[in-house]
Amino acid sequence: MKSPRIKSHVIVFLAPAVLVYTAIMIFPLFNTLRLALYTEADQVRMFVGLENFRTLFGDPRWSESFWNALANNFWFFVIHMLVQNPIGIALAAILSHPRLRFAAFYRSAIFVPTILSFVIVGFAWKLILSPIWGIAPDLLSAVGLKSLFAPWLGKEEYALTTLALISVWQFVGIPMMLIYAALLSIPEEVLEAGEVDGITGMAAFWKIKLPLILPSIGIISILTFVGNFNAFDLIYTAQGALAGPDFSTDILGTFMYRTFFGFQLQLGDPHMGSAIATAMFGIILVGVCIYLFGIQTRLKRYQF
């Protein structure tokens, strides 16, 4: 048996993508892992092995900030899973109804915030929710609910949840479009067979459509997990690098940024920053592996 030859044109077409991906992803990743194993004293770089990780998890000054940021990251992710994705699925189900008028307009309107800059979204909502010059107090007053207004971005107990809901508003269009595409890919024969058995309306969605789009929901879930643990832009824009008030909106991204580059009177430490980045990579890798080997393999039974 002759081994199959690798065709030259495949290498030619893949080489540019592989080189670019290696330059901007693979090399920085391994360089970050390398920096995490060193420290610097008197402008001399020394190999310390896992000492930076012992400091990160064992030194109270570092571990308290790390676990606070990790807990905030999990809460940020949970809100997206419990609010963003169900709303996206519901919107996709509504917009996929064949009798809905202006469905294309609604899809475009919901998806538009997704393409907006984080800077624009962060500053716009900061202005909207401002108790001094924002329009939120006036809008609530107009409907008789002014007593419900609070400086949500200025209170520790509300700030992170408020930012998470702003992020939900911006990115709900992504799960909506993915689920919408999955719903359109369901064969008409399956739906017609359900109608013959008397399964229509909401019953058709719960008993036929939902089981068939579970693989897509799984993909959306892992994308939400990875995206939220890489979150940085919105919180940095709205609350700054200190992720106030009193670090209540601090996540791993802002914690790593302050540590690596320094901020105000805090000097940057690339080695401890790389240790934090490596810990983030490990958390994301574990989450993705759990999904791929524990969940996705079980969802393949629903795929056509």
In this predicted structure, the answer to whether residue 290 has a pLDDT above a threshold of 70 is: yes
Which pLDDT score, from 0 to 100, does residue 10 have? Answer: 79
Task: Check whether 304 has a pLDDT greater than 70.
Answer: no
- The CA distance from 55 to 63, in Å, is 8
- The tens digit of pLDDT for each residue in 52-106 reads 999 999 999 899 999 999 999 999 999 999 999 999 999 999 998 888 888 889 9
Comparison of pLDDT for 23 and 5, the residue scoring more: 23
List, in order, residues 6 or more apart from 63 with CB less than 8 Å away. Answer: 56, 57
Which pLDDT does position 45 carry in this prediction?
A: 87
Q: Which two tokens stand for residue 109?
A: 């309107």
pLDDT for the residue 65:
93
Residue 303 has pLDDT above 60, yes or no: no
Give 282: exposed, middle or buried? Use CB within 10 Å, 0-12, 13-18, 19+: exposed
pTM (2 decimals)? 0.88
Query: Taking residues 129-154, what's their average pLDDT?
Result: 86
From the CB of residue 172, how many other CB atoms can be counted at a distance below 10 Å? 23
**H-type alpha helices, 112-232:** 118-128, 136-142, 156-171, 173-184, 188-196, 201-204, 210-212, 214-229
pLDDT tens-digit profile of 260-286? Answer: 998 877 788 999 999 999 999 999 999
pLDDT score of 36? 93
3-state secondary structure of 137: helix
CA atoms within 13 A on the CB side of 165: 10
User: Domain extents for the chain?
Assistant: 63-302
pLDDT at 236: 92
Residues 165-220: tens digit of each pLDDT: 999 999 999 999 999 999 988 888 888 888 888 887 788 888 888 888 888 888 89
d(CA 200, CA 93): 13
pLDDT reported for residue 301? 57
Looking at domain 63-302, its CATH architecture is Orthogonal Bundle (1.10)
**What are the pLDDT digits (tens) for 222-249?**
999 999 988 899 999 999 888 988 899 9
Query: Residue 3 has what pLDDT?
Result: 57
Query: Highest mean pLDDT: which of 52-61, 133-142, 284-293?
Result: 52-61
State residue 297's pLDDT score: 65
pLDDT in tens, 113-125: 999 988 899 999 9
Answer whether residue 296 shows pLDDT above 70. Answer: no
